[in-house]
Every structure is written in structure tokens, then in C-alpha cells.
Amino acid sequence: MAERSGRHHEQDVELQQLWMGGHWEASSGDRVADVVNPAGLGTLARAQLASPDDMRKAVALARASFDSGIWRDQEPSQRAAVLRDAADRLEKRLPELARLLTSELGCPLWFAEKAHVPNPIRHLRYYADLVDGRSFDDYRSDGVNTSIVVDEPVGVVGAITPWNGPLSSPTLKVAPALAAGCSIVVKPSSETPLTVMALGEALAEAGLPPGVLSILPAGRDAGEVLLRHPDVDKIAFTGSTETGVMIMKACAERMARVTLELGGKSAAVVLPDADVDAFVAALLPMSFSVCGQLCISQARVLVPRSLESDVRDALAAAIAALAVGDPMDPDTYVGPLVSEKQRERVEGYLELALAEGASIATGGGRPGSAGEGWYVEPTLLTDVTNSMRVAQEEIFGPVVALLAYDDVDEAVRLANDSPYGLSGSVWSVDRDAAVSVARRIRTGMVSINGAPQAYGTPFGGYKQSGIGREMGPEGLQSYVEKKSIALGQFRPGEG
């Protein structure tokens, strides 16, 4: 690969450098991550990991760029133009980026082409449109005195993101942060550090000024530097609840702004009048996309006892029929898990399920035909009660637990009997009845009959699923500080 890209061939695989304030730069340290293809295809690339000094440098560049006003003082329409241009550039690279993303994450190529790469492009365009032509000043009067309420960019943002949305998770932070006028340092996961770099390249080519954006894959040592640096005004985190708790504590020490998008254990509540076949068909993408490694995966299915055997049989048959295999194959529905560590985690939960008294209706093993990758068969657990750990904890794999309920009040109680509160779904032929159940579920998002969430609506969780919202206007607000400037007796237009 060309020198310009910052990826060099070394020992037959590429060595990726850091994206430092708008250009490729070699790390000052010597830590390197092997990025392994989860489909059993060996080492895909090697990625330099930022040292603590690299991270300090990126924060200094971000701080200097923010304080200079080089980006935040541009008109919103100018910022929007840069975001749109970057979106166009990413779109031109979509086929290449989808293949790279599939190679590092293991999700089916069709999913990368339809969702994991196009969604971030949409986020850039959405936030460009949201700020273009918008006034960041709101004049408010109490009848006597007038103040300007100014939406100011929050400052320097540190974004810490997980491996399961290699491009989408960083872009959901970078797009609104840049639209608001912030500077930002992204620390993606070292497991999937490759595709995200295209975001830096596209924005730099589109005219983002130097220093405003750095992308530094890193381990915990450098991650902690970003987290605790006094020049970072806000941390935007997506990842596990366990890490989120630690992040929130670290932010509390210096009152840094923090938003957290964390784990989930979402329930699909099937009401007694639901169309079972339609439910089963629609649930599959909601539970098995990206091999169940999505925070919003529907991991628990709650059915009325009268429908339990019908749903179990139909769901088990549908799950057993899912094509597991090479994620580059267009017929594949379920690819491998991201890493050996993740497979150990999922298999540990399957053992635990049996030890807790659950049964496996289908799946539970490694598929014989799929080859060397980190595959686990899509699995349906039955004989599950909600107090079992497999019903309470996030497995983050291709595993769905079936639970029976006696009446709708119990269904709502079971759905809410979770430390998490991210998403869920309600299934019924009566949409009004489903909506009234949805209103009782304490999660940030609920789908009726598998309907996709309208674009531009908030994404985030109640309880231990996080604090704050991404997407929509709410996603922009979390990169804004409110300032009131008191003008006294004044009417807009008076000068």
C-alpha cells in the first residue's frame, strides 16, 4: 500500500500508523496489535497502538485547534460542507470499506454493505443538514429583559468506542461533535482499528483543518490518558456497562461531561394475538445480525404460556436454518464472532445455561461445516427463568432465551426485570395494544412488530444501558454547552 496511506507492508501484512490531527504518523511507542480475521484467515493487518505520549500529543493538537477557533468559528454551513464532502468520499469507497470491515469484524459482507458502512455516511449528512443554516443563538425575553441563549461547542471531545461498530460508533460521535464545532480525539477498539481510519482520511481531504480530528487505536494505558486528561472537556463512550461505570467515575473527578452508550438485554414481548410466523421471520435480523454482537439485540423472547410450544418450535426451526459461514459469501447470515476471547465468553454462557437448568432447543455447539473461524451455532435456550444469569447478563453472541409468562402484567414485569434498559420490542396484530405495552417498558427504544426506528430519533438507554442519547437533534445537544448572555432591556433588531 502506498506510503501516503500510513500503512506499510511488513512481514507480509500491512502495518497501520496513527491518524494524528489530519495525517498519518508513526507511533512514538512500540505497541502493535495483530488484527486477526475472525473467519480463520489469519492476520489481516497490524496496527500501531498509540502510546500515552501519542495520546497527549493528539489532545494538545485538539485543544490548540479548538482554542484557535479554526473550526468552531467557521459558519455552520461551512462545517456542513466539509461533512457532506467527507460523506461523498466515503460513499465512493463503500465497496472497499465494506470488505475491510467484514474482514476485521466478521459480520456478513451484505450487512457491512447495507448498514455498517452506509449508516455512518448517513450520520455525516444528517448532522450537516441539521446545522446548515441553523442559528446557534436563541433570543429569549421575559417581557422586560432579553438574553441570548448560545449553543457553544462543548470543547475537546474524547471518544472511546467498541469493536462491534468499527465505523458507525466513532462516526456517531464525530459527526455531531464536528457539526457543533468541537475538536475530537477518537480511541477505537484495538480489535477493529482499520475501517475507522477512512473517516479521518475523508474528512481531511474534505478540508477539515489540521488538529481537529485524531484517530488513535490504543490499549488501556493510552485510553486512560484520554479519559483523564484535563484538556478533554467531554468523554463520549460506547462499550460495556462495566467499563462505562469506571469511565463515569473518572469523569466525575473533574466534572467532565460524559455520555454513555452501554450494554443491553432486550426483551421481545410477544402478545397473545401476535402472528407467530411473522414474528419469527422478523426477529431473526434483530437477534442474529453481527452474530448477536449488537447492543440492541433482542436477547430474550417473552411468550404467553399458551404460545410457548408453537413459538419454540417455529423459532428453533428458523434458527437452525440460518446459514452460518464465510462472511464474504452472500448467502451467509451468521458469520464468526469477533475474536477467540468472545467465543470463549459465549461458550462459557452456554455451559452456564445448562448448569442453571436451561435447555438448548437448537444450536449450542460449533458448526462443523464453517471452518476454522470463531464460529458458534445460532442458539435457542429454553426452560429459562428470568433470574438465571443467562437471562440477566449480556452474552453478546448468537443466543436467544425463550421465557414464558402468564399475563401481560407479568410480561411487562419480566421485560423490566433487568439491570439494562436499552431496547425491546412488542408484537401484536393490534398496534395500539402494542404501543400501550411499549409505554410500560423502561427502555430507551421499543419497536412495534420489528419496525425499524425512524432515522433522526434518539438512540440510548435507561438504567445501566447508559446516560444521554445519540442520533437525532438530541445527539447534537450532547456536544453543546448552553450559555446565557444577558442583554437587559433589548429587542432583537434594535442593534
Catalytic residues: 261
Output the CA–CA distances (angstroms, integers) from residue 449 to 275, 290, 405, 482, in the order listed. 9, 21, 19, 39
State which H helix or E strand residue 48 sits in: strand 43-48
> CB–CB of 54/222 below 8 Å?
yes
Q: Residue 159, interface with ligand NAD (CB under 6 A)?
A: no
Q: List the beta strands (DSSP E) in 406-479.
A: 420-421, 424-427, 447-448, 462-463, 466-467
Q: Quick one: CA torsion of 459, 465, 467, 472, rounded to 10 degrees?
A: 0
Q: Residue 295, interface with ligand NAD (CB under 6 A)?
A: yes
Determine which residue in the list 224, 231, 308, 329 makes contact with ligand NAD, applying CB under 6 A. Answer: 224
Q: Residue 238, interface with ligand NAD (CB under 6 A)?
A: yes
Nearest CA-CA partner of 127 in 467, 445, 478, 483? 478
List the Cα angle 247/253/254 in 5-degree steps.
Answer: 105
| Calpha distance 187→247 (Å, rounded) | 14
Determine which residue in the list 121, 130, 262, 316 makes contact with ligand NAD, applying CB under 6 A. Answer: 262
| Calpha distance 81→181 (Å, rounded) | 13
> Quick one: which segment of 251-259, 260-268, 272-280, 354-362 binds ligand NAD (CB under 6 A)?
260-268
Q: Where in 403-422 is the site for ligand NAD (CB under 6 A)? A: 422
Burial class of 18 by CB neighbour count within 10 A (0 to 12, 13 to 18, 19+): buried
Buried b (16+ CB within 10 A) or exposed e, 345-355: ebbebbeebee
Determine which residue in the list 27, 51, 146, 189 makes contact with ligand NAD, applying CB under 6 A. Answer: 189
What's the closest the beta carbon of residue 245 comes to ligand NAD, in angstroms? 10
| Calpha distance 27→65 (Å, rounded) | 21
What's the closest the beta carbon of residue 50 comes to ligand NAD, in angstroms? 11
> CB–CB of 178/84 below 8 Å?
no
Q: Residue 264, interface with ligand NAD (CB under 6 A)?
A: yes
Determine which residue in the list 19, 71, 127, 396 makes contact with ligand NAD, applying CB under 6 A. Answer: 396
What's the closest the beta carbon of residue 295 comes to ligand NAD, in angstroms? 3
What's the closest the beta carbon of residue 418 comes to ligand NAD, in angstroms? 13
Q: Residue 364, interface with ligand NAD (CB under 6 A)?
A: no
Query: 32 vs 148, which CB is nearer to ligand NAD?
Result: 32
Q: Residue 223, interface with ligand NAD (CB under 6 A)?
A: yes
Helices (H), 321-407: 340-355, 389-392
Count of residues in contact with ligand NAD, rule CB under 6 A: 28
Query: 411 vs 471, which CB is nearer to ligand NAD?
Result: 471
Determine which residue in the list 162, 304, 373, 421 makes contact with ligand NAD, applying CB under 6 A. Answer: 162
Here the cell at position 386 is 428470568
Q: Residue 298, interface with ligand NAD (CB under 6 A)?
A: no
> Quick one: which segment of 56-64, 158-166, 279-287, 318-326 binds ligand NAD (CB under 6 A)?
158-166
Q: What is the DSSP string of 423-437?
A: -EEEE-S-HHHHHHH
| Calpha distance 267→321 (Å, rounded) | 22
Q: How many CB atoms lie within 10 A of CB 344?
A: 12
Q: Residue 240, interface with ligand NAD (CB under 6 A)?
A: yes
Q: Residue 227, interface with ligand NAD (CB under 6 A)?
A: yes
Here the cell at position 449 is 412488530
> CB–CB of 16/48 below 8 Å?
yes
Q: Residue 164, interface with ligand NAD (CB under 6 A)?
A: yes
Cell 450487512 found at: 111
Partner residues linked to 385 by β-bridges:
none
What's the closest the beta carbon of residue 403 comes to ligand NAD, in angstroms? 20
Determine which residue in the list 160, 302, 319, 360 makes contact with ligand NAD, applying CB under 6 A. Answer: 160
Q: Residue 261, interface with ligand NAD (CB under 6 A)?
A: yes
Q: Residue 165, interface with ligand NAD (CB under 6 A)?
A: yes
> Quick one: which segment of 174-182, 235-243, 408-416, 432-440 binds ligand NAD (CB under 6 A)?
235-243
What's the closest the beta carbon of residue 125 comes to ligand NAD, in angstroms? 20
Burial class of 147 by CB neighbour count within 10 A (0 to 12, 13 to 18, 19+): middle
Query: 265 vs 312, which CB is nearer to ligand NAD?
Result: 265
Here the cell at position 398 is 448468537
| Calpha distance 395→387 (Å, rounded) | 15
Q: Residue 158, interface with ligand NAD (CB under 6 A)?
A: no
Q: Residue 220, interface with ligand NAD (CB under 6 A)?
A: yes
Query: 156 vs 318, which CB is nearer to ligand NAD?
Result: 156
Determine which residue in the list 29, 38, 76, 263 makes contact with ligand NAD, applying CB under 6 A. Answer: 263
> Quick one: which segment of 110-118, 232-240, 314-322, 367-375 binds ligand NAD (CB under 6 A)?
232-240
Q: Residue 170, interface with ligand NAD (CB under 6 A)?
A: no
Residue ranges that bind ligand NAD, judged by CB under 6 A: 160-165, 169, 187, 189, 220, 223-224, 227, 238-240, 243, 246, 261-264, 295, 394, 396, 422, 461, 466
